Amino acid sequence: MMGDNMMNGTQNAPETLVDIKNLWVEYRIDGGVVHAVNGVDLKIHKGETLGLVGETGAGKTSIAKSILRVLPDPPSKIVDGEIYMDGEDMLKLPEHKMRKIRGKKISMIFQDPMTALNPTVKVGTQIAEAIKLHEKMNKAEAQVRAMEMLEMVGITKERFSDYPHQFSGGMKQRVVIAMALACHPELLLADEPTTALDVTVQAQILDMMTSLKNEMQTSVLMITHDLGIVAETCDTVAVVYAGEIVEYGTMMEIFDDPGHPYTVGLFGSLPSIDRKDKRLKPIHGLMPDPMNLPAGCKFSPRCPYATDECRKAVPPVTEMDGTHIVKCFRAREKK
C-alpha cells in the first residue's frame, strides 16, 4: 500500500534500509485463524525513526517480529509478503543467516524488560555474549565493550557482575537497550520500550535512545500507542488498524492534518490544555475480532462517517500533500 508512493519525486529522497511488501501474517489456533497483519507495505529509511502507532492488538508487534523473523511458529505463519534488506528477501534466508543478522544488523527492545533478561546470568555477561558472537572478539575484549555500553546508557561498569534482580525497572530497560545497541545495529526495533516505566524514567529513556540513535546513525522502528512519544521521537508515522496501515506521513503531516477518522479519534482521546472540552472524546467501540474482520473498511463499525460504500468496499489509498497517504474514502473526497 505504501510501497513506492512514498516520497516519489523528491530529489533528496532518503535511502531505504528495509522494504516491506504485501506482508500477511496469520495465527492459526484451535478456534480458527487470527488475521494479524493484512497486506502491509512499508519502508524504513536509513537514519530515520518511524513510529508504528495503534491500539493493542493492531498488529504492530507482529510486523516488527516478522522483520526479525522471531514470530512463534506454530501458531504464527507469514502467509505472503517480502521483506528486503540489502537487496535480500529476509523471509527467504536460511535460519543460519538470520542468526547472523539478529543482534548485529537488526536488534529488538522487547516490551517488558523484566522478561527480556535471563535472571540467572550477570547482566554484563549477557551483553558480552552478544558482542562475542557477532564481533569476533575474545572474552576479555567483549567484556570491555560491554562495560563501555553499560556506561553509555548511564550504568557504571562496576555493575557488570550484578544480576537483573538487583536493578530497578528503568535500569533493566537501560541494560536491554545496551544489549540491543552493543553491536551497532543498522535497525533497532523498539516495542513500547517505556510502557512499564514511570513518566520521569520514560523521559530519560527516550532522550537516551534519541541521542544514541543520532550518535550511531541507527534507524529505529518505534512501536507505541502513545502519540506523545511519537511527537518527541519520530520523523515519520504509520498508523496501524486491524493489521493494515491506514495512514502514513511525516510526523508534522500527521499531527497537522490527520486524514483518517481513526487517527483523528486517537488525537481526540488525548487531553489538551488548549481545548476547553470538559470530557475526552474516546473512540467508541472496540477493535474488530481478528478472527472475523468486517468487510470493506475495517474501521467502519466504529467510524462516525461510515457509509454503505465503506462497509462493502475496501477504501483506496489516497495521496495527499507531500508524503502523506490515507486509506479512506473521505480522504479522496477531501483531496
CATH code where residue 302 lies: 3.40.50.300
Main-chain dihedrals φ then ψ at residue 148, nearest 5 degrees: -65, -40
Domain count, the chain: 2
Q: Omega of the bond prior to 119 within 30 degrees of 0, cis?
A: no
| CB neighbour class for 227 (10 Å; exposed up to 12, middle 13-18, buried from 19) | buried
pLDDT at residue 5 in the model: 46
pLDDT at 274: 67
Domain span at 273: 16-105+185-334
In terms of DSSP H, where are the helices of 136-259?
Answer: 139-152, 169-181, 199-216, 227-233, 251-256
Neighbouring CB atoms inside 10 A of 291's CB total: 13
Specify the DSSP element, H or E, that contains 96: helix 95-101
Per-residue pLDDT at 276: 65
296 Rama sector, left if φ>0, alpha if ψ -120 to 50, beta otherwise: left
Q: Which of 127, 159, 184 is the last residue of a domain?
A: 184
Low-confidence ranges of the chain (pLDDT < 50): 1, 3-11
| In a shared domain, residues 235 and 174 | no
Q: Residues 155, 88: one domain?
A: no
pLDDT reported for residue 20: 98
Res 10: pLDDT: 42
As a whole number of angstroms, the distance between CA 187 and CA 47 comes to: 9
Q: Give the per-residue pLDDT at 6.
A: 41
pLDDT of residue 335: 66
- pLDDT computed for residue 282 by the predictor: 80
Whole-number Å distance between alpha carbons of 194 and 110? 10
Do 118 and 125 meet the contact criterion of CB atoms below 8 Å apart?
Answer: no
Helix (H) or strand (E) run with residue 93 in it: none
- The pLDDT score that the predictor gives to residue 250 is 96
Together in a domain, 142 and 231? no
